[in-house]
Structure 1
Amino acid sequence: MPDIIARVNGQPLTRNDLDNAIQGYALQHYRKSMDQLSAEQLRQATELALEQLLARQLLFLQALAGGIVAPVPAIEAEQERLCANFPSAKEFFATLAKAGISPADHFRMLRQDLTVNLFCERQLAELAPPTATELERAWNEQGPRLQMPLKIRAAHLLIRDPGGQSAPARQKCAALAAEATPENFAALARQHSACPSAASGGDLGWVRRGTMAPEFEDLAFDLPAGAIGGPVATQFGWHLVLVLERQEARPLSREEALPQLRQKLHEERRNQALQALVRDLIAAADIRLFDATLPWPSSLSSPG
């Protein structure tokens, strides 16, 4: 019998549902599994995951009531996109397994997420775009602070060693570091790297902060163009990093800023409309939380 922690309009939410939501939050925001979080990170992840879980369950039930379900090809495509963030699909599913998420659970989570996204897109499709007056006001208020962030074009070589604990793996990476030059880096990556980027000489393209493992970024973004750094350990193993090019941060021109401001205003309008929709669903919902140790989400007025 599953451990039911809540019911949303009569539909059960289990401890496994919450754990999966916490694991998803941990992987997305901390790039860690739940058991690797600090006490404060776990508290925050639990509170936000529960709030999101209840809201998305309400949206999911509303979508199903309207006959909206994400198609299987879209779910499979999203799974492939997520796999691309890992050295291999095997590594991706191993990370999920370590977090206690089975392939079936992950597919079900993606189905719910994409169904909710599809429902929200249809609900918000008629929102009016920002006006010229709103854009001009946003430019006057925010323009001087807007910047094009630093980005680098980087290549890397990965010696697989999840957790970075293997001395032989580190020694192999260190030996390659002693051999590597900007001229032979691509050839070494093609021969030795365990990352799919090996096929392109380790080239990762242009990247910004917040898109790679923190340890990788701390090294890569401090390197000048043409420099090689490492070995550095991440959850995937040991890396050598070559910075091919750097584009330093700079202020945005008005022409560059207006599309970003338009998108920002549109997203703010979407978020406000979505929050109003969720508030309406919550107000009409029967939500009962059975585990007194869980934090009651701030978006709900009182326990059911």
Structure 2
Amino acid sequence: MQEQTIKINGKAISHFDFINAMQSYAMEMFHKTVDQLTAEETEQVQEIAIERIIARELIFQQALAEGVVPGDEEVNKETTKVMANFPSPEEFYATLEKAGIDRDSYYRMIRQDLSINMMTEKITSSAPEPSEEEIKAFYDANPDKMHKPTQVRASHILVKATDENREEAKTKIADVEQQVKAGDLSFGALAKEHSVCPSKEKGGDLGFFGPGSMVKEFEKVAFSLKPGETSDIVETPFGYHLIQVTDRQEEVLLSYDEVKPQIITFLKEQTGAKLLHEWVEKLKQKAEITFDN
């Protein structure tokens, strides 16, 4: 990937920030890391990353101009929340160090994120509540969206595979598959022992999920299984899986009253997003944005 510098009103976006954005949107759009993307997918992700980086920086610059900035207490609270996902504060800071991020830089990143969120909320909160007529019209016009899609509940065992250990990983998952078939230990017990997914702590249980929640290879197999059935070995970009479906909820039609709160939220968010987009476009028109390869 060719390195380029984006400058927004004289502020340069680092290549580090650009690559981080690429990784985030690659996972969001395709459930893949950047190095797993096809050339076409890479181009799509790159376009989105550039567009959103510019929008984020413009929002942040405007937030600073208007004094929409979180205090130290809010920054520390958000940092504590993130830190809770790590075994200890020491491991959290060690992880930052491995990523090349010192404490001051991390606090600046958190402050920027919070400022952007606060400024975004300031703009979108002016969106009006939809009328009863608008809500009912949306319900009537979108019958295909008024269903709760089929969901499955599944557990899995993941053996991570890389180019360096692929044969070893194949051998290991095949051995685990034989243990599942033997039935001496439960699927959950084997997941706790062999899986590298965080879900191993819950016996591999991923809970209920619907279409689009998992990578396509995993999803296709999971939705083809009946409760109680276990898959053959499934390969995804993350490695090799064994999947066991434990429950299934078929698609159901939802009544107007059931979905009305969600429709209100959706319509208001839609209006808010339109307001934000129009506001950012005005900022873009006034901004000086350059690209240097």
Q: Is structure 2 residue 131 aligned with structure 1 residue 131?
A: yes
Residue by residue over 1:196-246, the C-alpha shift from the partner in whole angstroms, topping out at 9 and shown as x without a partner, is: 322322211111222223322222111111100132223433221110001
Alignment of 1:112-261 (within 5 A): 112-143=112-143, 145-162=145-162, 166-180=166-180, 184-261=186-263
Q: Give the letter aligned to residue 176 of structure 1.
A: V
Q: Distance in 2 between matches of 1:164 and 1:110?
A: 36
In structure 2, the CA distance between the partners of 1:229 and 1:127, relative to structure 1 (3 Å rule), is same
d(CA) in 2 for partners of 1:19, 1:196: 25
Tell me how far apart the structure 1 counterparts of residues 144 and 166 of structure 2 sit (CA, whole Å). 48
Distance in 2 (alpha carbons) for counterparts of 1:162 and 1:187: 25
In the superposition, the TM-score normalised over structure 1's length comes to: 0.78
The answer as to whether partners of 1:170 and 1:231 remain within 8 angstroms in 2 is no
Which structure: greater helix fraction?
2
Residues 36-70 of structure 1: per-residue CA shift (max 9 Å, x gap)? 32222222222221111111110011122324146
Structure 1: how far apart are the matches of 2:106 and 2:174?
37
> 1:164 touches 1:237 (CA, 8 Å); kept in 2?
no
- Of 265, 271, 274, 1:272 maps to 274
Matched residues in 2 for 1:107 and 1:46: separation? 26
The answer to which of 46-55 and 64-73 deviates more is 64-73
Aligned pairs for 1:55-94 within 5 A: 55-65=55-65, 66-69=67-70, 71-75=75-79, 77-78=81-82
User: Quick one: structure 1 residues 144 and 170, their matched pair in 2 at CA, closer, same or farther if it must change by over 3 Å?
Assistant: closer
Distance (whole Å) between structure 2 residues aligned to residue 197 and residue 206 of structure 1: 13
Partner residue in 2 for 1:6: 6
Distance 2:17 2:100 in 1: 12
In structure 1, C-alpha distance between the alignment counterparts of 2:213 and 2:263, rounded to whole Å? 22
CA distance change for structure 1 residues 162 and 114 in 2, over 3 Å: closer, same or farther? farther
Q: How far apart, in 1, do the equivalents of 2:130 and 2:57 lie?
A: 30
**1:155-194 superposed Cα distances (whole Å, 9 cap, x missing partner):** 1122333469522322222232233268821222233323
Using the size of structure 2 for normalisation, the TM-score is: 0.80
Determine helix, strand or coil for the equivalent of 1:122. Answer: helix
> Cα–Cα, structure 1 residues 173 and 16, in superposed 2: closer, same or farther, change >3 Å?
closer
Q: Size of the alignment, in residue pairs? A: 276
**Within 2, Cα distance between the matches of 1:202 and 1:44?**
33
- Give the direction of change, closer, same or farther, for the CA distance of 1:16–1:191 in structure 2 (3 Å limit): closer
SS at match of 1:123: helix
Tell me the SS of whatever aligns to 1:118.
helix
Cα 1:164–1:139 change in 2 (3 A) is farther
State the shift of 1:258 in Å: 1.7
> How well do the aligned residues superpose, as a CA RMSD in angstroms?
3.1
Matched to 1:168, the amino acid is: E
Secondary structure in structure 2 of the residue aligned to 1:126? coil
**1:71 corresponds to which letter in structure 2?**
V
